[in-house]
């Protein structure tokens, strides 16, 4: 511990609570965080969010007492009364409708241990209805990569991507959304001569560093990617020995791509055919070419197919299984990778073992004493569509679905149809507005445990502050709740997060062999075979994670976006800003970050603005059949004609009032990146 600290704060290396990069930080005095030299930010570098992370810890609006609703209003109460109310409320729903009438919303910014206990609670209660907000960001990526390669995670490491010769960044803006990765790994590679190809409808800070920009129309990525694959075939750029040894289905794919005309595909995607050829050559001719993919690819009703098309490119060119290559999703929250790893998903047990696999259920039962249910549960997106019908109760742990789910007005109305809702959080949010009980949990700075970053590194979090008031540690809340709900207190009797992690290593195969103490100030990366010092860096090197020697090539056909776009309509696409994070429940309470970016704007192309008589700074109405918001216009050539862009961090404008219910049929991820909207000046 360093000296000169406030009495309730101390400096202990922990992990930033925001994005999935996994920068290490610690308290630096005067309520400020500072970067420490850690596994990822090796020089202690952090971005503005990391530096401002303490702003929410000491915030005056922190919940410090349990709240129960009485006559429509929250009143403070004791923990015993609040937890008894939760046990009674959920128990009544289970008694009347069965355990599948409850949906458990896990948290991808809470620890592995907390998420593990949470999903164990759901499963011991008798339901697989547990999900986390990975559903909303990369569930389609995970689905495609798991099916084809056997693992839904970055194939490579940040360190080896820094050695690549070509970065194909698709639907991501790492310069703003994963700033430390961009500055400390990607920019050095680019300065060393790597080509950066940026696929994005907008010009962003990432585009500024790019050699090639493909400003694809939102929803038309498959036309673009199939065209690139066709160029690879037409120009003899296939890695024939890799295709021969490591893939299957080449004949079917080439037959499919025979029907793809590059000019026609590029035209449909809204990009210049010659630029498509240039990008395909740069990617295929590089010795080591890496795909880095984000939510611009995944958040579509064809999100899973988008990633299948990316995988075809990587496999055709032999860019899998070697340093500097692969397909690498940049994960959003600090533990979105881990929440899935430990089983907070409705179709898989810890370690991505299918719930339908009897042997996997038996292995888990040997540890838990009870076999988990065999039917896949509801995803959180589908569950919200069934609120008030077959879903009668929700347990929301550290998430804010009233803002983050699509068609937010409908979701909020759905919450009011529930018989019972309990929320564990730090602050009152749009979701706690609908709760019967709110339990004050712990912030990132008050907890211990592990999180897993975007390149599969498991790292330790450590407390830097004491809990405020009567708030409790999340793990204590969840184990207490688990014992009460399931009626098996012994199943949730752990001696701290290290004991939970020990159990996790026994039931979660990728984490087998890891140890809480062994992680220390460093990391252990999954998978973690006995002979590895710190884990496996490059996946799929000899065989694929699926266990097979070959991965299938897969013909992929385009499907249109769910919203058709009328003559007077524009396409709304949404995304993040550097200074804010997800629903903004934390970052909008940070004075530092609000000073940097205090309001949201709608980016609109000058032609679309002029056509509607809109000028810079005007308040405009953005609307469709699902909702209507008002927002200031930013007139900019950085967005292509026909498309407008808004972030989703603010309650006002609530961008998700405009996004739709349509889901990817495989992953059930929403189509956040393509919503038809009308944009106009308000009536005088
Ligand atoms: Fe935190 Fe991500 Fe910024 Fe690093 S890059 S400081 S992990 S928000």
For 381-438, write each residue's pLDDT tens digit.
999 999 999 999 999 999 999 999 999 999 999 999 999 999 999 999 999 999 999 9
Distance CA 636, CA 617 (A): 11
Distance, first Cα to last Cα, the chain? 61
Q: Which of 42, 49, 52, when mutated, tests ligand 1's pocket best, judged by the most ligand atoms within 8 Å of its CB?
A: 49
Protein residue closest via CA to atom 3 of ligand 1: 47
3-state secondary structure of 452: strand
Give the H/E segment covering residue 553.
none
Beta strands in 171-275 (DSSP E): 195-199, 212-214, 247-248
pLDDT value at 15 more than 70: yes
For 149-193, write each residue's pLDDT tens digit.
999 999 999 999 999 999 999 999 999 999 999 999 999 999 999
Q: What is the pLDDT of residue 2?
A: 38
pLDDT value at 577 more than 80: no
State percent of the chain over pLDDT 70. Answer: 99
pLDDT value at 455 more than 60: yes
Q: Specify which residues 620 forms β-bridges with.
A: 631
R_g of the chain, CA atoms, integer Å: 24
For 61-93, write each residue's pLDDT tens digit.
999 999 999 999 999 999 999 999 999 999 999
> What are the residue ranges of helices labelled H in 150-239?
158-161, 174-177, 179-181, 187-191, 205-208, 221-234
Distance CA 398, CA 425 (A): 5
**CA dihedral sign, ordered 532, 157, 498, 24:** positive
Q: What are phi and psi of 607, to 5 degrees?
A: -65, -45
Residue 16 CB–ligand 1 contact under 6 Å: yes
The alpha carbon of 578 and the centre of ligand 1 are apart by a number of angstroms equal to 10
Contact 344, 501 (CB under 8 A): no
Q: Which of 17, 20, 21, 54, when mutated, tests ligand 1's pocket best, judged by the most ligand atoms within 8 Å of its CB?
A: 21
**Taking the CB of residue 104, how many other CB atoms lie within 10 A of it?**
27
The alpha carbon of 330 and the centre of ligand 1 are apart by a number of angstroms equal to 12
Q: How far is CA 106 from CA 14, 111, 395, 424, 474, in A?
A: 21, 10, 8, 10, 12
3-state secondary structure of 556: coil
Protein residue closest via CA to atom 1 of ligand 1: 50
Q: Dihedral, CA atoms, 8, 13, 14, 15, nearest 10 degrees?
A: 140
Q: How deeply is 274 buried, as exposed, middle or buried, from its count of CB atoms within 10 A (0-12, 13-18, 19+)?
A: exposed
Contact 332, 137 (CB under 8 A): yes
The residues, any chain, with a CB within 8 Å of residue 509's CB and separated by 6 or more, are 351, 353, 527
Q: What is the pLDDT of residue 597?
A: 78
3-state secondary structure of 474: helix
Q: Specify which residues 450 forms β-bridges with.
A: 460
Q: What is the pLDDT of residue 537?
A: 96
Q: In terms of DSSP bridges, do strands 247-248 and 212-214 run parallel, antiparallel, or are they unpaired?
A: unpaired
Residue 593 CB–ligand 1 contact under 6 Å: no
Q: What is the pLDDT of residue 419?
A: 98
**Taking the CB of residue 110, how many other CB atoms lie within 10 A of it?**
32
Distance CA 670, CA 300 (A): 6
Q: Which of 20, 25, 43, 50, when mutated, tests ligand 1's pocket best, judged by the most ligand atoms within 8 Å of its CB?
A: 50
Distance CA 103, CA 385 (A): 12
pLDDT value at 102 more than 60: yes
Residue 49 CB–ligand 1 contact under 6 Å: yes
Q: Which of 172, 178, 333, 454, when mutated, tests ligand 1's pocket best, judged by the most ligand atoms within 8 Å of its CB?
A: 178
Residue 180 CB–ligand 1 contact under 6 Å: yes
The residues, any chain, with a CB within 8 Å of residue 96's CB and separated by 6 or more, are 392
> pLDDT category, 585, cuts 50, 70, 90?
confident
Q: What is the pLDDT of residue 6?
A: 67
In 3D space, the residue among 162, 166, 210 whose CA is nearest the CA of residue 183 turns out to be 162
Residue 179 CB–ligand 1 contact under 6 Å: yes
pLDDT value at 41 more than 90: yes
For 219-257, write each residue's pLDDT tens digit.
999 999 999 999 999 999 999 999 999 999 999 999 999
Residue 572 CB–ligand 1 contact under 6 Å: no
Q: Which of 24, 43, 45, 46, when mutated, tests ligand 1's pocket best, judged by the most ligand atoms within 8 Å of its CB?
A: 46
Distance CA 395, CA 101 (A): 11
Which of the 8 DSSP states describes residue 107? -
The alpha carbon of 50 and the centre of ligand 1 are apart by a number of angstroms equal to 5
Distance CA 6, CA 132 (A): 35
> What are the residue ranges of helices labelled H in 396-466?
401-404, 408-415
Residue 330 CB–ligand 1 contact under 6 Å: no
Q: Dihedral, CA atoms, 109, 114, 115, 119, nearest 10 degrees?
A: -150
Protein residue closest via CA to atom 2 of ligand 1: 19
């Amino acid at each position: 511990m360093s000296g000169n600290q406030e009495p309730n704060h101390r400096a202990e290396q922990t992990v930033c609570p925001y994005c999935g990069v996994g920068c290490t930080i610690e308290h630096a005095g005067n309520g400020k965080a500072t970067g420490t030299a850690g596994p990822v930010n090796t020089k202690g570098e952090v971005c503005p969010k990391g530096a401002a992370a303490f702003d929410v810890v000491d915030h005056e609006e922190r919940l410090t007492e349990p709240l129960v609703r009485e006559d429509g209003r929250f009143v403070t109460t004791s923990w015993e009364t609040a937890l008894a109310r939760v046990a009674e409320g959920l128990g009544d729903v289970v008694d009347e409708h069965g355990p599948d009438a409850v949906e458990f919303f896990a948290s991808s910014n809470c620890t592995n241990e907390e998420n593990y206990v949470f999903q164990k609670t759901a499963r011991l209660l008798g339901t697989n209805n547990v999900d986390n907000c990975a559903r909303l960001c990369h569930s389609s990526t995970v689905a495609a990569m798991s099916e084809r390669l056997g693992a839904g995670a970055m194939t490579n490491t940040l360190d080896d991507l820094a050695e690549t010769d070509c970065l194909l960044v698709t639907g991501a803006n790492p310069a703003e959304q994963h700033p430390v990765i961009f500055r400390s790994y990607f920019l050095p590679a680019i300065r060393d001569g790597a080509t950066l190809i940026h696929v994005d409808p907008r010009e962003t800070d990432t585009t500024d560093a790019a050699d090639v920009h493909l400003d694809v129309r939102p929803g038309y990525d498959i036309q673009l990617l199939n065209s690139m694959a066709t160029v690879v075939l037409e120009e003899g750029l296939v890695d024939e020995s890799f295709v021969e040894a490591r893939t299957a289905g080449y004949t079917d794919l080439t037959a499919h791509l025979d029907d793809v005309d590059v000019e026609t595909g590029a035209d449909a995607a809204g990009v210049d055919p010659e630029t498509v050829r240039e990008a395909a050559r740069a990617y295929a001719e590089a010795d080591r070419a890496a795909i880095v993919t984000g939510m611009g690819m995944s958040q579509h009703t064809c999100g899973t197919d988008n990633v299948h098309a990316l995988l075809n490119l990587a496999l055709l060119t032999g860019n899998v299984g070697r340093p500097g290559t692969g397909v690498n999703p940049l994960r959003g929250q600090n533990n979105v990778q881990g929440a899935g790893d430990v089983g907070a998903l409705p179709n898989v047990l810890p370690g991505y073992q299918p719930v339908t696999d009897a042997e996997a259920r038996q292995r888990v039962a040997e540890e838990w004493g009870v076999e988990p249910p065999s039917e896949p549960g509801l995803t959180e997106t589908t569950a919200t569509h069934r609120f008030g019908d077959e879903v009668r109760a929700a347990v929301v742990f550290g998430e804010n679905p009233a803002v983050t789910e699509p068609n937010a007005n409908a979701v909020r109305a759905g919450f009011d149809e529930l018989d019972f809702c309990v929320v564990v959080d730090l602050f009152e949010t749009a979701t706690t507005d609908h709760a019967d009980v709110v339990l004050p949990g712990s912030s990132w700075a008050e907890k211990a445990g592990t999180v897993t970053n975007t390149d599969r590194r498991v790292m330790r979090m450590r407390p830097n502050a004491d809990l405020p008031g009567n708030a409790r540690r999340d793990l204590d809340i969840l184990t207490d709740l688990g014992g009460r709900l399931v009626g098996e207190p012994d199943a949730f009797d752990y001696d701290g997060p290290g004991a939970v992690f020990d159990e996790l290593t026994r039931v979660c195969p990728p984490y087998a062999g890891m140890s809480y103490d062994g992680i220390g100030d460093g990391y252990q990366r999954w998978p973690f075979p006995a002979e590895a010092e710190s884990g496996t860096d490059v996946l799929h090197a000899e065989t694929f994670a699926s266990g097979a020697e070959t991965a299938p090539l897969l013909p992929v056909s385009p499907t249109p976006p769910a919203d058709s776009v009328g003559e007077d309509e524009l396409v709304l696409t949404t995304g993040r800003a550097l200074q804010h994070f997800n629903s903004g429940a934390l970052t909008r309470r940070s004075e530092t970050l609000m000073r940097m970016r205090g309001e949201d704007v709608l980016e609109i192309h000058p032609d679309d603005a002029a056509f509607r008589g809109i000028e810079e700074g005007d308040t405009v109405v953005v609307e469709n059949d699902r909702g209507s918001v008002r927002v200031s216009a930013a007139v900019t050539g950085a967005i292509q004609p026909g498309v407008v862009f808004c972030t989703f961090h603010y309650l006002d404008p609530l961008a998700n009032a405009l996004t739709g219910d349509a889901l990817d049929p495989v992953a059930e991820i929403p189509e956040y990146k393509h919503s038809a909207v009308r944009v106009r000046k308000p009536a005088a």
